[in-house]
Amino acid sequence: MHEETPSIPELFLKPYDPQAHEDSLYKLWEESGFFNPDICVEKGIAAPDAETFTIVLPPPNVTGVLHLGHAYEDALQDAFVRYNRMLGKRTLWVPGTDSAAIATQARVEKNLQKDEKLTRHDIGREELVKRVNSFAKESENTILSQVRKMGASLDWSRYAYTLDEKRNTAVFTAFKRMYDEGLIYRGNRIVNWDPKGQTTISDDEIVHEERQSELYTFKYSKDFPISISTSRPETKVGDTAVAVHPDDARYTQYIGQTFSLTFCDVPIEVTVIADKEVDPEFGTGALGVTPAHSKIDWDMADRHNITHRPQVINEYAKMTVDGRLSGLKVEAARIAVVEWLNEECLLEKEETITQNIATAERTGGIIEPLPKLQWWVDVNREFVMKHSEIPGIESGSTTTLKKMMRQAVEGGGVSIPQERFEKTYFNWITNLRDWCISRQIWFGHRIPVWYKDGEIYCGVSAPEGDGWEQDSDVLDTWFSSALWTFSTLGWPEQTTDIKNFHPTNFMSPAYEILPLWVSRMILMSGFHLGQVPFKNVMIHGLVRDTQGRKFSKSLNNGIDPLDMITKYGTDALRMGLLSGTAIGNDIRFDEQKVGGYKKFANKVWNITRFVLTSVADYKSVDNITYSETDNKILKDLQELTQEISGDFEKFALYLAAEKIYHYIWHELADVILEESKPILAGADTAAKQARQQVLIECLTTSLKLLHPFMPYVTEAIWQELPAQMKDSELLMVSSWPVH
C-alpha cells in the first residue's frame, strides 16, 4: 500500500537488526556528552538547580570479564539512570574498576610460576607490583568495553580506578584520620591466617565447610586430674590453661591451681580457670585453652590475665616446638600426638563428629588462627561525630562506628526497601568485631605508616629524613572500596561533586555483599563525611541457571552475556534480566525469554513502520476533535505513564518492564492499531487526523516509557522519526511523559 511512501525510512522494511545499530548509537550518546550531568546543564537539558540523582557503579574487577551478574546490575542501574535523566534531574552514574588485589596478584603469580618458574620473592616487590599493574591495565579495556556494550550510560569523564592516584590519596587520608582518632590501631591479636595464600583475611572472607573429624578425649599427663576433649590435639602443646564452668562441682577443687607438665615432649604450664563460657555438658566439661591458636581462647586468656601465650604453629602451618613434633605439618602433628597419647595410655575416647572448619574463600586453604601484629579498625571505640547529617546522630555527639552503622539504617538515613534484608544487616552489625585491615600481599594500597628506631609515623606521604621504613603490608581491598561513593567524587578535596552528588541515591548490590561492602561504606562515609553513602539499598538476587544453580566454572554452565547480545541484542538481554522476577529474589536465566524480547524489539520496530505509514499524509491542524475512543486511548496512556513512574519510584522495575511490554504489544498493537485501520482508511478526514495524532502520541510516549529498559531499539527508532514528532534530538534526553 504505502510501503513506497518516501517519508518512511527504508530501514523499516527490514526487521530490526540490533547489531547494525547498537555500537553506533552508543557512540552517538557518548559523544553527545549527555552522560555527564554538567553538560546536560550546559546544554539546557537539565536545570542548573535540578535535583540530582547519583549512582556509583560497583566497580567490576579490572581483570575480569562481564558475566550475567554484571549484566543484570548494569541493566538495573542504567534503567534508573535513564529514567531519572529523562525526568530532568542532574543525573550522574560514576564508572570505575577495582584492583581486586588478592585475586589479581594471585593470577599474575600463577602466570609467573607457569611461564618463568619464578615466585614473587625471586623478582621482588617492586617488579611484581609493576607486572601486576601492567596486567591490570591491559585487561581494563575488556571489561570497560563490555560495560559499554550493555548500554550503560556512565559518565566516563569521571572514571575511577581503586588504585589510581586520587583514590590512593583518599585511602591514605582516610587511614590517617582514623588513625589520629584512635579508630585504627596496631595490635597483636588472633588473625585468620591463610597458609595457602600467605595472608591474613577478614572474617567475611571465611567460608565454613562441614567436615568429619575426630574428637579426642585425654589427659595431658597421668598426673593431671582433668580430662579434656579436642579435635586439634596438636595445638595442645600451646595450652596454658584449662577452663571449667565455675559451678561445675567436679572441678571446683582445682580452680586456681597451676600444673607443670610435659606434653608430647613439650613442657607446658597449665592453670585451671573458671569461666562461664564453658559448657559443662560438652565433652568432659573442661576445655584446654590455647591462647595463641584460637580466638575464643585468646579472649579467655585476656579475661583471666594469662599472659603466657606461646605460639606453636607458624605461617606455613608447621609446628614450631622441639621434640617429636618439631617441623611437622599440623595434620602430621595431629597423628603424632595421638600416637604419643596411645603410647602413654592417656587417650580415653575417640569419636567422629561433624565440624565446620574455616577455609579461605579465595584459596580454599584451611584457616590457621595465629597471633599477629596487624592493623585493625576499632568498631567499639568512642569518638565525637564533629559533623553529622545522619538522622538520629547529632553533630558533636559521641558514638562508636558500630553504633553509627546501626543508627544509619535504624534512623532511616539508609533505607532498605526489602525489610528482610534490614534484619540481616542488624544481625551482622550485632556480631561485628574489629576489622582486620592489613594484608600480607604486595599489590594494593600500602599501609601509610613508617617506622624508624621504635618511632612510628602515619601520614599521607613519607616522612622527612632518612631511615624510615614503610610498613610492608597492604590494606584490605574493602578498605578502599568502602570509600568508593565519595573517593570517586574527589574526596578528600571539598569538590563540588561531593556537594552536589553525595550521598548517592542508591546502591543495588547482590545480597551476598551486604556485610562485606554495604555496611563498610556506611562506616566510612559516616565517619569521614558525617553522611550516609546512599539513601537506598536495593538488594537484588543472584542470576542462576535454569536449574537454579549458581554459574560456575566447575559446572560449566556459564552463559556469556556477550553471546546473548550477539544473538538477541542488548535490549533483549536487558529485558530478559529485568522482567519476570521481583527484585531481591534470585533470577533463573532463561535464554528463551531473551529470544522472546528480541521479537518484541522487532514488534516495536514494525509498529513504528505502521504508524509512520499511517501518518505519512498527516497535517497538523489547530483544533483536533478527539472521538470518545481517542480520548480513552490518551487517558489510558496517561494512566500507564503514571503507573510506570510509580513503579520506578518504588524500585519495582520488574513491574514497570512488564507493563510497558504488555501495553505495547497487547494494547497498542493488538487493539489500538487494529481499531485504527478502518478510521485511517475512512473518508472522515477530521476523525482520521485525530487518530493520526493519537497514534503519534502513543508511539512517542511508548518509546519514552520503554527507553530505560530497551535503550537501543527505542533510540534507533527515535532517530528515524520526523523532527516534528520529537521534543529532543536524542530520546535519551527527551523528557519523561507527564501525567
Partner RNA sequence: GACCGAUUAGCUCAGCUGGUAGAGCGCUACAUUGACAUUGUAGAGGUCACAGGUUCAAGUCCUGUAUCGGUCACCA
Residues binding RNA (CB under 7 A):
1, 14-15, 203-204, 206, 208, 215, 229-232, 277-279, 281-283, 285, 287-288, 294-296, 353, 355-356, 420, 423-424, 427-428, 431, 511-512, 515, 546, 548, 580-582, 585-588, 590, 592-593, 596, 599, 602-603, 606-607, 609-610, 613, 654-655, 658, 662, 665-666, 669-670, 673-674, 677
Q: Are 626 and 690 in contact (CB under 8 A)?
A: yes
Q: How far apart are CA 588 and CA 623, in angstroms?
A: 51
Q: Which is nearer to RNA, 602 or 714 (CB)?
A: 602
Q: Which is nearer to RNA, 161 or 193 (CB)?
A: 193
Nearest Cα neighbor of 437 from 161, 203, 208 is 203
Q: Which is nearer to RNA, 554 or 592 (CB)?
A: 592
Q: Are 428 and 514 in contact (CB under 8 A)?
A: yes
Name the minimum Å distance from CB 505 to RNA: 22
Q: How many residues does the chain have?
A: 739
Q: Which is nearer to RNA, 499 or 662 (CB)?
A: 662
The per-residue DSSP string of 184-213 comes to EEEEEEEEEEETTTTEEE-GGGEEEEEEEE
Name the minimum Å distance from CB 14 to RNA: 5
Residues 6+ apart with CB under 8 A from 228: 217, 218, 219, 220, 236, 242, 283, 284, 286, 287, 288
Q: Which is nearer to RNA, 495 or 585 (CB)?
A: 585
Q: How far apart are CA 721 and CA 693, in angstroms?
A: 14
Q: Which is nearer to RNA, 154 or 312 (CB)?
A: 312
The label of the residue with cell 615432649 reads 265
Name the minimum Å distance from CB 577 to RNA: 11
Name the minimum Å distance from CB 596 to RNA: 4
Name the minimum Å distance from CB 632 to RNA: 18
Q: Which is nearer to RNA, 185 or 426 (CB)?
A: 426
Pairing type for strands 543-544 and 587-588 reads parallel
Q: Are 101 and 132 in contact (CB under 8 A)?
A: no
Q: Which is nearer to RNA, 334 or 445 (CB)?
A: 334
Q: Which is nearer to RNA, 436 or 607 (CB)?
A: 607
Name the minimum Å distance from CB 562 to RNA: 21
Name the minimum Å distance from CB 250 to RNA: 13
Name the minimum Å distance from CB 208 to RNA: 4
Q: Which is nearer to RNA, 175 or 597 (CB)?
A: 597
Q: Are 656 and 82 in contact (CB under 8 A)?
A: no
Sign of the Cα torsion 723, 725, 727, 731 reads negative
SS3 label, residue 275: coil
CA dihedral 288, 290, 293, 294 (to 10 degrees): 60
Which alpha helices (DSSP H) does 316-461 contain, by range? 330-343, 401-410, 419-430
Name the minimum Å distance from CB 676 to RNA: 9
Nearest Cα neighbor of 514 from 424, 579, 408 is 424
Q: How far apart are CA 42 and CA 33, in angstroms?
A: 10
Can you point out the beta strands (E) in 424-574? Answer: 435-436, 438-439, 449-452, 455-458, 469-470, 474-475, 504-507, 534-537, 543-544
Q: How far apart are CA 34 and CA 42, in angstroms?
A: 10
Which residues does residue 543 pair with via DSSP β-bridges, in sequence order?
Answer: 587
Q: Which is nearer to RNA, 470 or 606 (CB)?
A: 606
Residue 354 sits at the vertex; the CA angle it makes with 310 and 237, to the nearest 5 degrees, is: 15
Q: Which is nearer to RNA, 19 or 472 (CB)?
A: 19
Residue 502 sits at the vertex; the CA angle it makes with 499 and 507, to the nearest 5 degrees, is: 170
Q: Which is nearer to RNA, 131 or 520 (CB)?
A: 520
Name the minimum Å distance from CB 201 to RNA: 12
Nearest Cα neighbor of 626 from 614, 634, 618 is 634
Name the minimum Å distance from CB 369 to RNA: 10
Residues 6+ apart with CB under 8 A from 258: 269, 270, 271, 272
Name the minimum Å distance from CB 627 to RNA: 20
Q: Are 648 and 736 in contact (CB under 8 A)?
A: no
- C-alpha cell belonging to residue 124: 621482588
Q: Which is nearer to RNA, 494 or 592 (CB)?
A: 592
- C-alpha cell belonging to residue 427: 544481625
Name the minimum Å distance from CB 386 to RNA: 31
Q: Which is nearer to RNA, 168 or 418 (CB)?
A: 418
Name the minimum Å distance from CB 234 to RNA: 11
Name the minimum Å distance from CB 590 to RNA: 5
The label of the residue with cell 586453604 reads 365
Q: What is the DSSP letter of 646?
A: H
Cα 161 → chain centroid: 15
Q: How far apart are CA 736 and CA 739, in angstroms?
A: 9
Q: Are 645 and 691 in contact (CB under 8 A)?
A: no
Q: Which is nearer to RNA, 516 or 687 (CB)?
A: 516
Provide φ and ψ at 274, rounded to 5°.
-110, 125
Q: Which is nearer to RNA, 367 or 507 (CB)?
A: 367
Which residues does residue 371 pair with via DSSP β-bridges, in sequence order?
Answer: 190
Q: How far apart are CA 495 and CA 487, in angstroms?
A: 11
Q: How far apart are CA 698 and CA 687, in angstroms?
A: 16
Q: How far apart are CA 576 and CA 592, in angstroms?
A: 9
Q: Are 266 and 256 in contact (CB under 8 A)?
A: no
Which residues does residue 474 pair with via DSSP β-bridges, in sequence order?
Answer: 439, 446
Q: Which is nearer to RNA, 279 or 322 (CB)?
A: 279
Name the minimum Å distance from CB 609 to RNA: 4
Name the minimum Å distance from CB 612 to RNA: 10
Q: How far apart are CA 228 and CA 103, in angstroms?
A: 41
